[in-house]
Amino acid sequence: MSSVVPEIWTYCENLSTAPSEYLDQIERDTHLHTLQPRMISGRLQGRLLSMLSKMLAPTRILELGTFTGYSALCLAEGLAPTGKLISLENNAEMQTRILQNWAKSPYFKQMELIIGDALQTLPHLNDTFDLIFLDADKQNYLNYYEILLGKLRAGGILLADNVLWSGKIIDQEAQDKKTKALRLFNDFVSQDKRVELVMLPFRDGLSCIRKK
């Protein structure tokens, strides 16, 4: 999925600080027991999420798309001691696995899982967030964006994953719904004067969006 050659990716992964053992366990378990394990952020992206979160030391983190809870745990590493992370997931079958995975970490008590469609849940969240990780259904990225920007504090960071969509984003032959929706999202954010944007060609593409 990454645009760098696999050997370079592995080299960077091997030399980067190793994640906690429970994260490696969760990654292995995700590959063994879920249908689409490639959805997990994985080791190097997990370390990047952790590093960015530690830089911001957020008191409020929001995630859309929990899957097995891996990225939430990486983001939680940067939480301020009184901070809280909320993660939204629509697949109720994942609930037990997520909570069991989170319970392996020291951040469990600072993390809340809300099961349900994120578009329905978001209007009921009254918090303002310092850091948001957008990693749910790609067709709705633009719909989420407007709502999320309203919930992000000035100076806060919104990270949007999969913005290169395995390179399909620049392949004019690719006209499926998800690719088209991601193109619209990327174009809209790049023109939006309310934010600064850096698109990183990291893994499947990670947009770093800072609200002015």
| 40 in contact with ligand SAM (CB under 6 A) | yes
Characterize 4-22 residue by residue with b for buried, 16 or more Cβ atoms within 10 angstroms of its Cβ, and e for exposed.
eeeeebeeeeeeeeebeee
Rounded least distance, CB 69 to ligand SAM, Å: 7
Piece of 9-17, 63-71, 145-153, 164-172 that binds ligand SAM (CB under 6 A): 63-71
Task: Output 71 or 186, the one with its CB closest to ligand SAM.
Answer: 71
67 within 8 A of 137, measured Cβ to Cβ: no
Nearest residue to the partner ligand SAM, using Cβ: 65
Identified binder of ligand SAM from the candidate list 89, 105, 169, 204, rule CB under 6 A: 89
Rounded least distance, CB 121 to ligand SAM, Å: 7
186 within 8 A of 163, measured Cβ to Cβ: yes
Phi, psi of 188 (to 5 degrees): -65, -50
Identified binder of ligand SAM from the candidate list 2, 50, 53, 71, rule CB under 6 A: 71
Identified binder of ligand SAM from the candidate list 48, 50, 62, 70, rule CB under 6 A: 70
| 13 in contact with ligand SAM (CB under 6 A) | no
Task: Output 39 or 142, the one with its CB closest to ligand SAM.
Answer: 39
**Minimal CA–CA distance to 28: which of 16, 40, 17, 18?**
40
| 88 in contact with ligand SAM (CB under 6 A) | yes
Alpha carbon distance 159, 79 (integer Å) = 16
**Minimal CA–CA distance to 78: which of 57, 63, 60?**
57
Task: Output 144 or 211, the one with its CB closest to ligand SAM.
Answer: 144
Piece of 14-22, 131-139, 168-176, 178-186 that binds ligand SAM (CB under 6 A): 131-139
Q: Write the CB contacts of 188 (distance below 8 Å, at least 6 apart in sequence).
A: 142, 145
Q: Which residues bind ligand SAM (CB under 6 A)?
A: 39-41, 65, 67, 70-71, 88-91, 117-119, 135-137
